[in-house]
Amino acid sequence: MQLTPEMIREQRFRGRLSGFDKEEVTSFLVGIAEDMEELLEENNLLKSELDSMKEKQKDLEDLFLSAKQFSDEKKRLAEQEAHMKIAEAQRKVSAMQEEARQKIEGAGQKALEIEEQAQERAREILSEAQQMKSALEKELTELKAKRTNLFTELRSVLDSYQNWIREMGNVDPSGR
């Protein structure tokens, strides 16, 4: 049987000759009913706060998922761009090398100089592409670290609220 404050207030006991003082028992029951009402109100408030925290947690999870998707998309685009630049650089290198070979056939020494310049430019383009890839990988690592920090902070906030709720459960609201 689940007691309610109303049930406690309305409870009546049979009288006996050497029984308890009815006014004292009634007063005690009213006090218990009032304390129970306060506890029920506090319990409802804590449930409401817990629901709110769950909503905040869901919002943070959604935010994290969005950030991860954004990060994944950014990484994919960066890799795609790096591949395109590398392919473009390789096409340029191939074209320059072909041009250099044709000049070698006709021009000798001048063609050798042009070929060396083309290869140097190709190395620079590849170096730039590798530097860009390294920068993007570093940025991805930083985003992962930020995500980890966000989860750590969220866990800390949730732990502190759980500790607070536990502490509030251990507090005697009547001050006794």
Query: pLDDT tens for residues 6-47?
Result: 888 787 777 777 777 778 888 888 888 999 999 999 999 999
Contact between residue 160 and residue 41 where contact means Cβ atoms under 8 Å apart: no
What integer pLDDT is reported at residue 138 of this predicted model?
93
Domain ranges of the chain: 63-168
Residue, of 123 and 21, whose pLDDT is higher: 123
For residue 17, report the phi and psi dihedrals to the nearest 5 degrees: -65, -45
Instruction: Name the token pair of 13.
Output: 């006991």
pTM score above 0.85? no
The string over 27-63, giving b where at least 16 C-beta atoms fall within 10 Å of a residue's C-beta and e elsewhere, is eebeeebeebeeeeeeeeeeeeeeeeeeeeeeebeee
Instruction: List strand residue ranges (DSSP E) for 18-144, in order.
Output: none
